[in-house]
């Protein structure tokens, strides 16, 4: 009979049919993920790759309906009794300036935990600066983004000298081998280029935010998700009170980092900035090109990468600003406004540690 024959034929090709069904299933699964009809946290990497499709699909909006904060216990914000009146807590473009007392870690953690935020920290340890890694990593495990997924990206010319520090779950040290430069100014400036290269090549697929810091530092108090925003800079401990004319911006108009004496908001430190991977890519790519242009024109900005960072943040205003609590130097003493010293410079013997 005809139907019999047909079934027989099918049976002979059962392997092909089996493979076809598997293929259809895989296609169906990836289509759903791709078009954003299904939201699987573990697939969020793929989803965010195709985020445009996710957003265009209206059912993504229904997913958003599920996001809410639980019932919480905290003291009421009081309009008539602001927590800080001794310092500026908001820029004229409505970016908050992060001082102790202005934020609730509990509320922020509830918000950021729901997003399952992953943070990358870039650290350069070229030549003798590998000696700073141990204390840096040990104190970071105590104070930096506790409870979050963290990748420490250690860029070094001496991978074998990276210490083995015990890390909490979900946190890892990723060693990225880089060459060193003869001049220390180039070591410092090349950070912009290296961060932009790795942002594009690696960070974008692994983390949500990138924090870029000096390695000759240690954590001594809480540094958490209150710092995270699209793009953020930190007030330099030596200039937070100063007048813009006195800032050590690059003042020669031939340099790409030039800032006129009647311009400038703050003097930002080169040793602590960050943002989303996208924004950090834009910032570091821009600065590294500006550095190359300067080089071609035979000029080097007075404070190297820091000068270019300051120019960038003048023309691309940061969405958050960290107070000097986040980058302090004990040589500056401890002023009244400084309630916490969260991230502090480790004293170094300049002759011993540099360019050996
Ligand atoms: C070497 C000689 C002079 C200045 C800097 C260096 C140097 C810097 C180096 O040999 N190796 C190195 O990895 N760096 C990186 O650049 C470190 O991450 C360091 O934290 C950063 C900035 O240099 P610092 O920390 O010496 O600059 P300051 O302004 O904090 O003193
Ligand atoms: Mn430093």
CATH of the domain at 297: 3.90.550.10
Residues 9 and 116 in one domain: no
Distance 218 CA to ligand 2 centre (A): 10
Distances (CA, A) of 232 to 98, 158, 210, 271: 10, 30, 10, 12
Which of 63, 82, 107 is the C-terminal boundary of a domain? 63
* Number of folded domains that form the chain: 2
126 class by beta-carbon count within 10 Å (0-12 exposed, 13-18 middle, 19+ buried): buried
Q: Are residues 57 and 167 in the same domain?
A: no
> By the 8 A CB rule, do 277 and 204 touch?
yes
Q: Are residues 56 and 144 in the same domain?
A: no
Q: Tell how far the Cα of 99 is from the centroid of ligand 2, in angstroms.
A: 22
Q: Is 306 a catalytic residue?
A: yes
In a domain, 172, yes or no: yes
| Residue 75, domain member (yes or no) | no
pLDDT computed for residue 26 by the predictor: 82
Q: Do residue 11 and residue 156 come from a single domain?
A: no
Residues 146 and 241 in one domain: yes
CA 293 – CA 271 distance, rounded (Å): 22
90 part of a folded domain: no
What pLDDT sits at residue 153?
98
Annotated active-site residue in 226, 279, 300, 306: 306
Residues 57 and 108 in one domain: no
Closest residue CA from atom 31 of ligand 1 = 216
Q: Give 304 Cα–ligand 2 centroid separation in angstroms.
A: 13
Residues 179 and 301 in one domain: yes
pLDDT at 39: 43
Are 119 and 9 found together in one domain?
no
**DSSP of 160-227, one letter per residue?**
GGS------TTEEEEEEE----SSHHHHHHHHHHHHHHHIIIIIHHH-SEEEEE-SSEEE-S-B-GGG
CB neighbours of residue 330 within 10 Å: 13
- Residue 274, domain member (yes or no): yes
Specify if 270 maps to a domain.
yes
Report CA(271)–ligand 2 centroid distance (Å): 6
Report helix angle 184-198 to 305-315, nearest 10.
Answer: 50
- Residue 41: predicted pLDDT: 41
Token pair for 28: 């169906």
Structure tokens at 309: 């960072």
DSSP 294-347: HHHTT---TTTHHHHHHHHHHHS--SEEE-GGGSB-GGG---TT-----EEEPP
Same domain, 249 and 168: yes
Pull the structure tokens for residue 106: 């509990």
Which atom, in ligand 1's list, is nearest to the CA of 214?
Answer: 20
- Residue-by-residue pLDDT tens, the chain, 356 positions: 567 888 888 888 888 888 888 889 888 877 765 554 444 443 444 444 455 556 667 888 888 888 899 999 999 999 999 999 999 999 999 999 999 999 999 999 999 999 999 999 999 999 999 999 999 999 999 999 999 999 999 999 999 999 999 999 999 999 999 999 999 999 999 999 999 999 999 999 999 999 999 999 999 999 999 999 999 999 999 999 999 999 999 999 999 999 999 999 999 999 999 999 999 999 999 999 999 999 999 999 999 999 999 999 999 999 999 999 999 999 999 999 999 999 999 999 877 776 54
The DSSP output letter for 77 is: P
Atom 2 of ligand 1 has which residue's CA nearest to it? 354
How close is the Cα of 217 to the center of ligand 1, in Å? Answer: 11
User: Ligand 1, closest atom to CA 191?
Assistant: 16
User: Is 40 part of any domain?
Assistant: yes
Which of 135, 136, 180, 214 maximizes ligand 1 atoms within 8 Å of its Cβ, making it the mutation to test the pocket?
214
- Bridging pattern class, strands 209-213 and 171-177: unpaired
Q: Residue 2's pLDDT is what?
A: 67
Answer whether residue 89 is part of any domain: no
Q: Say if residue 130 is in the same domain as residue 12.
A: no
Angle, nearest 10°, between helix axes 277-296 and 305-315?
120
List the domain range (segments joined by +) for residue 335.
97-353
Ligand 1 neighbours, Cβ below 6 Å, are: 124-127, 129, 184, 187-188, 214-216, 271, 354-355
Residues 191 and 275 in one domain: yes
pLDDT of residue 119: 98
pLDDT of residue 8: 85
The residue whose CA has the least distance to atom 7 of ligand 1 is: 184
């Amino acid at each position: 009979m005809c139907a019999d024959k047909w079934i027989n034929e099918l049976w002979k090709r059962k392997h092909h049919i089996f493979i076809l069904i598997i293929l259809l299933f895989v296609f169906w699964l990836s289509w759903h993920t791709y078009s954003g009809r299904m939201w699987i946290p573990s697939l969020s990497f793929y989803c965010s790759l195709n985020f445009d499709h996710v957003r265009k699909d209206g059912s993504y909006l229904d997913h958003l309906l599920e996001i809410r904060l639980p019932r919480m216990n905290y003291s009421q914000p009081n309009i008539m009794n602001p927590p800080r009146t001794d310092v500026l807590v908001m820029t004229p473009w409505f970016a908050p300036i992060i001082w102790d007392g202005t934020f609730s870690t509990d509320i922020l953690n509830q918000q950021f935990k729901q997003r399952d935020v992953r943070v990358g920290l870039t650290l350069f340890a070229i030549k003798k600066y590998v000696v700073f890694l141990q204390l840096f990593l040990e104190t970071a495990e105590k104070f930096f983004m506790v409870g979050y997924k963290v990748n420490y990206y250690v860029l070094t010319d001496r991978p074998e000298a990276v210490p083995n520090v015990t890390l909490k779950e979900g946190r890892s040290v990723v060693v990225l081998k880089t060459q060193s430069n003869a001049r220390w100014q180039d070591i410092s400036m090349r950070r912009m280029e290296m961060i932009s290269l790795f942002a594009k090549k690696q960070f974008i697929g692994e983390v949500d935010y990138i924090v870029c810091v000096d390695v000759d530092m240690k954590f001594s108090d809480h540094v958490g998700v209150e710092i995270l925003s699209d793009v953020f800079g930190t007030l330099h401990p030596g200039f937070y009170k100063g007048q813009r004319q006195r800032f050590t911006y690059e003042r020669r108009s031939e340099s790409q980092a030039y800032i006129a004496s009647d311009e400038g908001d703050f003097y930002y430190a080169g040793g602590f900035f960050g943002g989303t991977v996208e924004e950090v890519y834009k910032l570091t790519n821009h600065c590294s090109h500006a550095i190359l242009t300067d080089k071609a024109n035979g000029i080097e900005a007075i404070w190297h990468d820091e000068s270019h960072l300051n120019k960038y943040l003048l023309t691309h205003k940061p969405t958050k600003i960290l107070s000097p609590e986040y980058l302090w130097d004990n040589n500056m003493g401890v002023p009244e406004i400084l309630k916490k010293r969260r991230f502090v410079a480790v004293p170094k013997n300049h002759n011993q540690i540099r360019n050996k």
